[in-house]
Structure 1
Amino acid sequence: MMARSRNIKPGFFSNEHLAEVDFATRLLFIGMWTEADREGRLEDRPRRLKMALFPADNVDIDAMLYSLHELEFIDRYSVDGRNYIQVVNWAKHQNPHLKEAKSTIPEKPAVEPCPVKTGASTMQAPDKNSSFPADSLSLDSGFLIPDSLSLDLPIEDQKPLPVAEAPAAPTNIQVLKPKAPRQKTEAQIANTNTWDAYTIAYLDRYGVEPVRNAKVNAQVAQLVQRLGAEEAPQVAMFYVTINDSFFIRSSHELGLLVARAEGIRTQWLTGRQVNAVTARQMENTQANISAAQEASRSILEGGQANAFLRRNR
C-alpha cells in the first residue's frame, strides 16, 4: 500500500451514522482513504491495515471493518478468492490527482437479479366437469375419510383422551454468564505487533505467509526483549527488505534476525543495508584510511618509507 493525500469534509464529524461506531473505527475509516487507490478500492487485509494505521495500538481491525461494512460505509467483497474493499460514495467526496495511477483492483461483480417466474401456476387446474381438481380429492370420495375415521361413532366412544401432566420445572438451574474477554498484556501486544510487521513484509516479498509455531513464537518474544516493543516491529519489517545473499538463501528466516538483531537494528537506524559487497567496500575503505593515517604519521615523525612515501624518498 502507498499512502495518499485525501480530503476530509466537516460533515464527517457530525454524521449520525458514524456516531454509532467507536472513535477508533471512525479513525480507521479516515485512514483507509489514504490507503485506497483512485477508485476508492484497497485490499481487504486487516493485518496490513493495522500496521499501516495503528502500529502501536491494540485494536481489532477486522471487527472494525465489519462495523463499517454493516453501516454501508464500505463494501467488502471477493474476486477470484482475493478480498477487497470499496469505499462507498467515493467519487462524491474525493477528487484524486489526475496523475495518480489507475486502479488495479477489480470492481465488485454485479449481482444478477433473480428471474421472475412468468409461467403457469404450479396449482392444478380445476377439472372441466367438476369444481375440484380430481375425483380422488373429492370430499365425497372415501380417500380422504376412510371408514376407520368415520364420524358416525357412538357417543360413549367419543371420550376425550387423558392429558399427561407436565413435569415440574427444576429449581436448581444455573445460567452461565459469558466470560469477559481476557486482556492482553503489554508483552503479548508487542509480540503480536512484531509478528504482524514481519508477516506483512514477508508476504510482500515472497507472496506467502511465514511459518508460525512454538519455536517461532519464542523467537518473536526474544526479539522484543532485545530490541523493545517500539523498535522490534520496525526492525522486523526492515530485515525482510535486506538484499543479502545469506538472508535470501534462507528466505529471511526469523531465527537469523534474532541472532543478528543488534546489527540489523543499526542498519535500520542508519538506513544503510550491509551485504557482502558493501562489507568488502567498507573493508577496503577502512584499509585505505589506515594506510593514509600511517603515512601521515610517518611524515610527521620522519619514520621509514611506506607505500605512500616510497616514491618521494
Structure 2
Amino acid sequence: WVKYANVTKGYGVKYWEIGNEIPGNGEYVAQWEYDNHASHSATTYANNLLQFISAMKAVDPSIKIGAVLVPPGTWPDGIVGPGDTQDWNDTVMSIAGTKVDFVIDHIYPNPTSEADLLTKPQTFNSAIMSGTHALINKYAGANAPNVGIAVTETNGSKYSDTAPQGLFAPDQYLTLMEEGAFNIDWWDLRNGTDCSNLTTVDGATEYNDGGMVSSGASCEPAVNTPFPSYYGTQMISKLGSPGDTLVAAASSNPLVSAHAVKRANGDVDVMLINKDPNNAATVSLDYSGFTPGQSRPTVYSYKENGTSITPGGVRSATRQTVPPYSIVVVQVHP
C-alpha cells in the first residue's frame, strides 16, 4: 500500500496509523474492532507495529508512522490484559516508543450535561494530553522531542447537532493544539441518524447525528446543511491561518474561553467563547507585548442557533460583549 500510494502513484501520503482503536479488539472483553490475530495483546500489537515500521519505511523512509494508544485516564488504561505484564500504553511504548513518529489518541468526553461538556476542553483534555506527553518522555528516549500527538477522532459525544457542540468544537480544537497536538480530526463530517431519538436542546432539534453537516436523513434538513459544530469550527478560520502562531490567552471568567493567534502580518486575533446560556459576557481585553493600533478591529460572531458567521459588531480592541452561547473573534491590527 505504501509502495502503491507513494511510489507508484506519487500521492505523498505522509502520516500512517497502524490500526484503529486496537484495544477494542476483545483484549479487555469489550469488542467493536475486528482482529484476526491469535493474540489480541498489547505485546502482539507492539511487535507487529515494529514490523510494519520496518517494512513501510523500507519503501518510503520519509513517512511518519503512529501507534494507537489508550487516552490516559480512560478505559482500559491501567488494566493489564492477558499475555501482558503492563497495561496497553506502557506495553506498546516500552516496546516501540523509540521507533514511532507519533502516537494516537481518540478523545470523547462523555459529558453529563451541557455545562459539563463545555468544561471538557480545559479539564478532560488536559489530563489526557499531559499523560500522553509523559508516556512519550518516558519511553521515546532521545527522540521524544520529535514524537507528535495526533488526535485522529474527537467530538463532544452528546448535543451533536445543537448549540453546545458549536461552542465545544472550536474550544476543543484550539485547546488540543495549545496542549501540543499536531493533528485533530473531528468525528465526523457526515455521519447519519436513524431519527429514533429526537430531542430539543436550547430551542433547536437534536437529531443525535454526530456529523458536522446533515446526512439528509428523513428527519433532518437537506443533505450537507451545516450544524453548529460546522460554524464553530469555521470560526477558527477567522482566528488564524496556516503559518500563523497560537499565543497564550487566558480568561478570569470560567464561563468564557479565550484563544489568541499572532498573524504573520502582525495582527493579533482573539476568540472569545461565552459558555453561559443565559447571560452576555462583558470582556476587557489586555495585551502583553502587543499594542493595538489606531485602526479599528475587524469583528466576526457566531450566535446561538445561527446559520452563518456574521461580520460586524463592536469594533473595539479593549472591550467586547459576547452574547449568551456565542463566539466572537476580534482581529486586532498593530
The TM-score, its normalising length taken from structure 1, stands at: 0.26
**More helix per residue:** 1
User: Larger Cα Rg: Structure 1 or Structure 2?
Assistant: 1
Q: TM-score, normalised by structure 2?
A: 0.24
